[in-house]
């Protein structure tokens, strides 16, 4: 991916990544089908994108569908694919109008062909937009991503294109799906669960983690603002000792 300019304001996280969790529980608590929870979750996506733009966050990554989610019931997977299809068809014009660059990270080989074509079209049409860089992780698993990056480096060494001594963290990161994108400063997970669930494991090494009790369909701009304000109170030291007072 192309290198893009980052925000210069240290008070604003350059990159916020969100694990959108709790659609099914939101629906179950209301006696509704899980599919309705996912549809309400799409409304929360719209609110979150709008909030990120208002806060001046340049990079936003949303974890929409994991590689493990393929094991869910076929009817639920089909509904999620249908929701993604409709989102790409109905929201692209608005995304483009608002200056948002859309990119999708994950294993596209498992996605329906028509959705892959919609993704390719959306990425091409929004390529030059810079107001917000929106990444959606679909059919994504961080362990798979890391393993594939390691495999490509091993093949380059085997083919004499690379010396093992040349492999360092920067070179490895260039082989990840997020190459050219800053690591997330802030990772938010909704629904009260406190784990990363195979999401951006390499990239989140020094991210600030904030866990929100709200289920994703109830997440709104005020929750995003509260998470950013909590982030601003954190002392990010990247492993270094705190300065003496």
Indicate the annotated binding residues for substrate.
22-26, 34, 38, 66-68, 70, 72, 189, 195-197
| 21 catalytically annotated | yes
| 133 catalytically annotated | no
| DSSP 8-state class, residue 33 | -
pLDDT at 242 over 80: no
Indicate the annotated binding residues for Mg(2+).
21, 208
At residue 11, the pLDDT reads 85
Q: Which of 2, 9, 21, 159 is catalytic?
A: 21
Dump pLDDT digits (tens) for 25-70.
999 999 999 989 999 999 999 999 999 999 999 999 999 999 999 9
Average the pLDDT over 127-152 and give the result: 97
Average the pLDDT over 67-86 and give the result: 91
Nearest Cα residue to 207 out of 9, 4, 8, 18? 18
Q: Which of 28, 69, 159, 220 is catalytic?
A: 69
Return the CATH fold of 15-230.
Answer: Undecaprenyl pyrophosphate synthetase (3.40.1180)
Helical packing angle, 221-233 and 34-55, nearest 10°: 50
Where are the chain's structural domains?
Answer: 15-230
Q: What are the angstrom distances between the C-alpha of 49 and each of 58, 98, 157, 237?
A: 11, 10, 41, 28
- Give the span between the Cα atoms of 121 and 102, in whole angstroms: 10
pLDDT at 113 over 90: yes
- Give the span between the Cα atoms of 5 and 173, in whole angstroms: 18
The model's pTM is: 0.91
């Amino acid at each position: 991916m192309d290198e893009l300019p980052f925000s210069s304001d240290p008070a604003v996280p350059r990159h916020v990544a969100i694990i959108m969790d709790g659609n099914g529980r939101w629906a179950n608590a209301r006696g509704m089908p899980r599919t309705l929870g996912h549809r309400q979750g799409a409304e929360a996506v719209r609110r979150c994108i709008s909030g990120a733009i208002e806060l001046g966050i340049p990079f936003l990554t949303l974890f929409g569908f994991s590689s493990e989610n393929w094991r869910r019931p076929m009817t639920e997977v089909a509904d999620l694919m249908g929701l993604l299809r409709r989102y790409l068809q109905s929201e692209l014009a608005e995304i483009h109008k608002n200056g948002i660059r859309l990119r999708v990270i994950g294993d596209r080989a498992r996605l329906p062909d028509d959705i892959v074509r919609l993704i390719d079209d959306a990425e091409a049409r929004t390529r030059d937009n810079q107001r917000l860089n929106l990444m959606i992780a679909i059919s994504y698993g961080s362990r798979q991503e890391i393993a594939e990056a390691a495999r490509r480096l091993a093949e380059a060494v085997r083919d004499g294109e690379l010396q093992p001594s040349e492999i360092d963290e920067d070179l490895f990161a260039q082989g990840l799906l997020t190459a050219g994108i800053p690591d997330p400063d802030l990772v938010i997970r909704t629904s009260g669960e406190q784990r990363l669930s195979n999401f951006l494991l390499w990239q989140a090494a020094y991210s600030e983690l904030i866990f929100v009790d709200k289920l994703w369909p109830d997440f709104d701009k005020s929750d995003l603002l509260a998470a950013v304000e909590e982030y601003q109170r954190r002392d990010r030291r990247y492993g270094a000792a705190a300065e003496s007072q």
